[in-house]
Amino acid sequence: MPAGRPPKLSRDLISKIESAVAAGLYKETASALHAVDRGTLHAWLKRGAEEKQRVEKLVGQGFTLARITGRERIYVELSDAIERAIANATLRDLSVVDRAAQGGAKIVTITTRTKSYPKLDDDGKPMLDAAGTPIQVVEVVREERTAEALPEWTAAAWKLERRDPKHFGRRTYRELTGADGKDLIPLDAIRAVLANAGDVDEADWEFVTDAAPAGLLGPGADLRDAATPAPDLPEA
């Protein structure tokens, strides 16, 4: 292939990219694996998406016989293949998490050990070799144990955090205080300003430290105007 010329999109190339994405690669990485650069891939996907949108728009307008053109079909197939690969990879990975969360998987543990004991003759006496040393019998013992895996709460928590972050997402709280643990803005000062704010819901409050003297700026204050005076707030 001449340098700088992108490869020709074919069904064989689509199949290779789809397999790589299904294995877990990003679509850009999967295409690079087969000598397709990011720009070329995105251009192909854009053509496929635009063609699907064109057909969907026509169908929505009542043209029930609208079809994908033969020239653009290969790009639509690429788009569909990547979407399908991502869905399959997601389903596979989530099923692993789900099995861990539910538990019950069979765990087989195989232990191999050896033991030795003297070899006895018909009279029950230890047999000796030519040097007079007791002959030892070495036996290999193989033990197999089967158990069920317990449910992994961390796997279940992982799914909940991502499915419903509003209720199950992790929350980090950080307390901000001024010097010597005092409030950044004295509570009495906040009450005094809000008492004159009118409709509090429509107030646009900003706390600034550099555009103007440190303090609260009330509704309508322009932070770009460094000359805007700060309200005279009572001290804590």
CA–CA dist 231, 186 (Å, integer): 13
Would residue 185 be called left, alpha or beta, if left means φ above 0 and alpha means ψ between -120 and 50 degrees?
A: beta
122 by DSSP, 3-state: which? coil
Question: Does position 10 have pLDDT exceeding 60, yes or no?
Answer: yes
Reading the block at residue 108, the tokens are 């087989």
6 within 8 A of 36, measured Cβ to Cβ: yes
Domain assignments of the chain as residue spans, ordered by start = 11-102, 106-148, 174-236
The single-letter code of the amino acid at 217 is L
The single-letter code of the amino acid at 202 is E
17 within 8 A of 34, measured Cβ to Cβ: yes
Beta bridge partners of 208: 215
pLDDT value at residue 199: 55
| pLDDT interval class at 228 (50, 70, 90) | very low
Q: Length of the chain in residues, anyone?
A: 236
12 by DSSP, 3-state: which? helix
CA–CA dist 35, 43 (Å, integer): 15
Query: Can you tell me the mean pLDDT for 141-146?
Result: 88
Query: Can you tell me the mean pLDDT for 192-201?
Result: 67
